[in-house]
Amino acid sequence: MWEYVTKRYVLTGCIQMEAISKLELHYYFNDDSHDIDAITRNKCEAEMLAIVYEVATILDIKTQLVAEIPLEGGFRDKWKALGENSPQLQVILMTVGLLTTIYFTYDPESNARKKELEQLQIQELKLKLKQLKAKDNIEEIAQITANKISKNLKIIKRKSNLYTHLNNNSRIEKVSINVLDSSNIPLHKETVINRQVFREFILSTNKLRAEEDDNAQIELISPVLKDGNYKWKGIYKDQTISFNMYDQKFKESIFIDGLNFHAGTSIICVLRIRRELDEIGEVKIKGYSVPTVIEVLNGQSPHETTQGKAHRHAKSMYDNQSDLFS
């Protein structure tokens, strides 16, 4: 776990550390001053450190950051990185520099198979980093690393928070995020982000694409037997949930056909799960809805609904088409 001690962010168990390189957040102002609003600085520091430690956690690399005395030239915050492996720390800091100054597109529609492949590639990258040597091309490895983890939701949200705080301070004209050696010499050319493009890094919404379980089983606890926009209750994967029933044909079968419910009655359905990111990039479930009921299970033979048959037919056609093109 991380501990905060006198401006030091420490990963418990990280030992025998030596100074390697530094990360610098350089603020440029639209006047000749060399001071910064304390709240803005504190918030930006929190987001930067969160990104660093998220990258370190993903790559399974122990590190410690120690804040140094800020420098003038606008206002320059510096954090000295300590660790057991100099090349690994340089990869972390260069990766953070890339992640926070280059716009990576995020595709929320990427399928599960692609995401699984990306996770395998990250595991392979972690193994490679454990064997990293000073003679290796650190900058190239950092670019590969940044590409592989750029879709991490916590990093995306933290970066959005960072540029939101920067954008909210009208005195900040531009920023740069640099990696320095122990003598404060940049390890690569400075990348400057002008105020005009801050918004490109800010999420327009915290909403994520809804997840769908197209074969969800929900044991009904409290079906709604009254017409109106009331929420149903049921047990889904051992968890009690409230959900909106949007299958109008199923609702009509209750009132018109006299569909009965008993203790233990369950439905097989399409369950849509609404999700959003919170302020630290954690995925939170915001609600459930059922657009299609496929089957009703009430202790007897399963009763497949008309809309359930149509749904399964459409899904079969889509799956066959996908297999053909793949």
Q: Per-residue pLDDT tens for 205-251?
A: 999 989 999 999 999 998 887 777 789 999 999 999 999 999 999 98
278, 158 contact by CB (below 8 A): no
**How far, in Å, CA of 241 to CA of 232, rounded?**
8
151 backbone dihedrals φ, ψ, rounded to 5°: -90, 0
Please report the sign of the dihedral spanned by the C-alpha atoms of residue 25, residue 27, residue 32, residue 33.
negative
pLDDT at 44: 97
Tokens 């889904």 label which residue?
A: 236
Residue 56 pLDDT greater than 50, yes or no: yes
Q: Where are the domains of the chain?
A: 2-201, 207-325
The overall average pLDDT reported for the chain is 86
- The answer to whether the CB of 168 falls within 8 A of the CB of 40 is yes
Highest mean pLDDT, choosing among 20-24, 30-34, 270-274, 305-309: 270-274
Which pair of tokens denotes residue 257?
């056909």
pLDDT band at 38 (very low <50, low <70, confident <90, very high): very high
220 pairs with which residues across the strands?
Answer: 234
What is the mean predicted confidence (pLDDT) over 53-58? 95
The first and second tokens of residue 105, run together, are: 């597109």
Q: What is the pTM of this model?
A: 0.82
Mean pLDDT of 55-62: 93
